[in-house]
A and B are shown apart, each in its own frame.
Chain A
């Protein structure tokens, strides 16, 4: 008689936990980034680009710093504050699988140093001069910027996202990652370019009123800057991820190329407004307003399109917490939803104190999601602490 072997009981994997692990793996959320990669060719090009840009930037500042230090200081302070506001805003919209700080800084530095000073300055200057020689100064004034800046500025900024995709392939995986990193590259470019515009305006009126001429330029840039580099680069950054394809994003070369071309077109039209309006001041304002609205509509549309998988990933990561009662279903909806869901969650409070608690709980739930992603779903002290914080806030 032979003994019949009994099947060994195996725990069925919890589908929610499996979905969580898949979401973390897919998005690369919580993965660490090490920029020091001597075997990565992109690392050396990044280092060269930033070093070369710094050298050019130093030369530009050094040439006139003895004359225009007050203008440079004033522009730098104003745009530092301006830059912080946009930094805060961009960090706020990156709420689902946040980019590591060092990656965001690397993007900002590339935009502000390598793209602006290592690529755009020399490329733009040379091409503008060539246009003038070939087609005359009137053509160059009307159309030169529109036919130059989109090339070297968008490609220069996009080059930063391309390098970061290959420097951090375990983190930069979704189109939304490209969107956010592109925005930070654009922010760096915008801030350093704005400061330089303020600095360069100091020599107007023969340098006799450097603060007046600089601040006038600064005011103009403050009014128009929000709709330009950050926005265009976000499109280009997402486009690059679509163009390349990653483990989390199926390659869509046509769509990616289209996004890059749209960014260049928006940028080109913006810079060619003098030519398009034919110097008609009355036409210029409606043109500017129309272009700002179109640009915002395009970028907001792309934001909503690319953020969907991020929200789904956040839901997958936090669904087991909702099942265990650590967060409520309502909180899960708010966490993985947009601003409307978050506002609805806060507004449902019966008092101001409860509203504050709800806001804190959402923030704490984000912290828990970050810790779960960082531990790849494992139970660690940090995860337990983040969960305990939620419990503490519940009883507060």
Chain B
């Protein structure tokens, strides 16, 4: 390559296409994610709101919680209701996930424990089930199983129900110490998890 065509030792004619592609990397990899991180969700739960997860399961978030993902009952998207929903409340993330599962709540909790233990999350930021399961009961009188969940920077609980062939995983994750009133509200949300009336679960 002739010397008069070089800039910093590189062929001038290749700089523009290289810069365009580098810019695409920057937009996709850093600029848009940074904008996304700066944006917050502001979708407060009002009295009477019910969140539905998949076709079969619902729960009642505490008034004042923020719906981060998921849809209110009566407002499905084109595919119905997503299989996961999450609300935040006083620093606690309450997340409900449903999917097909054939087994008992204790077996589902064991499956969740195996998954959590098998994942390699960067910075050891994952959670691990750290206690034996205990039986819990929701507001409809259905039994599930729950256990402590520990992570590097947060703690919480994981609970499992199985309604028919629909498994439900509930995670409530928050700071090491949460006020008693908050814990009570989280417990109320946990108890509100139940099958949708008429869903057959």
Contacts and interface: CB of A to CB of B under 8 A. Distances in A.
Contact of A205 (B15, B79, B99, B120): B99
Contacts of B115: 67, 203, 206-207
Interface string B75-99: 1111110100000000000000001
B18 A45 contact: yes
A28 interface: no
B79 A141 contact: yes
A207 B35 CA distance: 33
A62 B122 CA distance: 10
A261 to B, nearest CB: 17
B14 A40 contact: yes
Nearest to A207: B115
Which of A67, A138, A208 gathers most chain B CB within 10 Å?
A208
B46 interface: no
Given A126-B35, A206-B99, A39 B120 contact: no
Given A205-B99, A208-B103, A142 B11 contact: no
B192 interface: no
B27 interface: yes
A145 B71 CA distance: 18
Given A206-B99, A206-B112, A206-B167, A133 B78 contact: no
B104 to A, nearest CB: 12
Contact of A133 (B18, B22, B24, B40): B40
A392 B13 CA distance: 48
Contact of B17 (A123, A142, A162, A278): A162
B169 interface: yes
A294 interface: no
B25 A119 contact: yes
Interface in A130-165: 130, 132-134, 137-138, 141-142, 152, 155-156, 159, 162-163, 165
Interface in B79-138: 79-80, 82, 99-103, 108, 111-112, 114-115, 118-122
Contacts of B39: 129-130, 133-134
Interface residues of A, number: 53
B9 interface: yes
A63 B126 CA distance: 10
Interface in B1-34: 1, 6, 9-11, 13-15, 17-22, 24-25, 27-29, 32-33
Interface string B41-77: 1000000000000000000000000000111000111
B82 A137 contact: yes
B152 interface: no
A258 interface: no
Contacts of A63: 119-122
Interface string A153-196: 00110010011011000000000000000000000000000000
A157 to B, nearest CB: 11
A142 B78 contact: yes
A162 B36 CA distance: 28
Nearest to B8: A41
B189 to A, nearest CB: 19
A162 B14 CA distance: 10
A73 interface: no
A1 B133 CA distance: 123
A127 interface: yes
Given A39-B9, A41-B14, A142 B32 contact: no
Contacts of A45: 18, 21-22
B82 A141 contact: yes
Given A40-B10, A133-B40, A166-B13, A274 B24 contact: no
13 contacts: A39-B11, A40-B11, A65-B120, A66-B118, A122-B33, A126-B35, A132-B41, A138-B76, A141-B78, A141-B79, A163-B18, A208-B102, A208-B111
Given A132-B69, A137-B69, 12 more contacts: A45-B22, A48-B25, A64-B118, A122-B33, A126-B28, A130-B32, A130-B36, A138-B78, A159-B20, A159-B24, A205-B100, A207-B111
